[in-house]
Amino acid sequence: MKVKNELLKKLRKEKLHFSLFDPEKLTPEKASKLAKKVESYGTDAIMIGGSTTTTVDEVTKAIKESVDVPLILFPNSAQGVSKYADAIFFMSLLNSTKYAYLAGEQIKGAPLVKEYGLEPIGMGYVVINTGAPTAVEKVAKIKRLTTKEIVNCALAAQYFGMSFVYLEAGSGARKSVPNEIITSVKNSIKIPTIVGGGINGPLTAIEKLEAGADIIVTGTVIERAYPKVAEIIDAVKKFKSQS
């Protein structure tokens, strides 16, 4: 459990930043260029995946050949499994109403994880509606939850033995996960909380960290090559030195 243990070790001292790359929106050349950039800015891992089905091998291979940071698959289905990654978030979308997202695709993908020797990292994934429905909310037919139900999902993830909980507003969401939800989850569980979706600047990232996020994920700001991703990573690093 090399990748997971390294991340948990780092988390004992600091907050982390993960960069999300969606293979559907990137050519291998562009992915490689952006991966080198986020690595130079200090990102702690690169996640590879998106909401719609696509093959991930070419982009994953290009990133693997370009950087040394851990590559963690963030699959939307069994098709999101690539032999070129280091690890895979073996995740269940806990508030999906579709069997495929709860366990079906995971069962299909499990033999591939074994065959490719990928490190599985158990993760409970919860999609939170913060306004207009996002792609993941529509595709996975998400059940909208109260704060109490979100906390209960996070607790269930912990009791299943999962290593992380991911509170997701959806890629490109206009609003990120509300701070009070992050705080309620953080105060109720012992496993680290990942927060992503709609985090488009350093001030929002700091707010989420102050609310209790352990790991900040950004995707859209990287794809659009906004210089803001450097500022966001910098804010996460500075937060580390204050805590």
Judged by CB under 6 A, the residue of 173, 209, 211, 215 near ligand 1GP is: 173
CB of 171 to ligand 1GP, least distance (A): 4
Q: Which span sits near ligand 1GP by CB under 6 A: 114-122, 146-154, 181-189, 212-220?
A: 212-220
The 10 Å Cβ neighbour count of residue 96 is 20
Ranked by CB distance to ligand 1GP, the top (closest) residue is 196
Q: Which is nearer to ligand 1GP, 5 or 27 (CB)?
A: 27
Q: Does 205 bind ligand 1GP (CB under 6 A)?
A: no
CB of 86 to ligand 1GP, least distance (A): 19
Q: Which is nearer to ligand 1GP, 3 or 173 (CB)?
A: 173
Judged by CB under 6 A, the residue of 42, 122, 172, 212 near ligand 1GP is: 172
Quickly list DSSP for the chain. Answer: -HHHHHHHHHHTT--EEEEEE-GGG--HHHHHHHHHHHHHHT-SEEEE--SS----HHHHHHHHTT--S-EEE--SSGGG--TTSSEEEEEEETTBSSHIIIIIHHHHHHHHHHHHT-EEEEEEEEE---SSPPHHHHHTTBPP--HHHHHHHHHHHHHHT-SEEEEE--TT-SS---HHHHHHHHTT-SS-EEEESS--SHHHHHHHHHHT-SEEEE-HHHHTT-THHHHHHHHHHHHHHH-
Phi, psi of 45 (to 5 degrees): -165, 160
Judged by CB under 6 A, the residue of 197, 211, 236, 239 near ligand 1GP is: 197
Tokens of 171: 């890629």
Q: Does 199 bind ligand 1GP (CB under 6 A)?
A: yes
Binding mask 214-243 for ligand 1GP (x = CB under 6 A): ---xxxx-----------------------
Which positions from 17 through 56 interact with ligand 1GP, judged by CB under 6 A?
20
Q: Which span sits near ligand 1GP by CB under 6 A: 64-72, 80-88, 149-157, 168-176?
A: 168-176
Looking up tokens 């309620």 gives 184
Q: Which span sits near ligand 1GP by CB under 6 A: 37-45, 75-83, 154-162, 197-205?
A: 197-205
Residues lying near ligand 1GP in the complex (CB under 6 A) are found at: 20, 168, 171-173, 196-199, 217-220
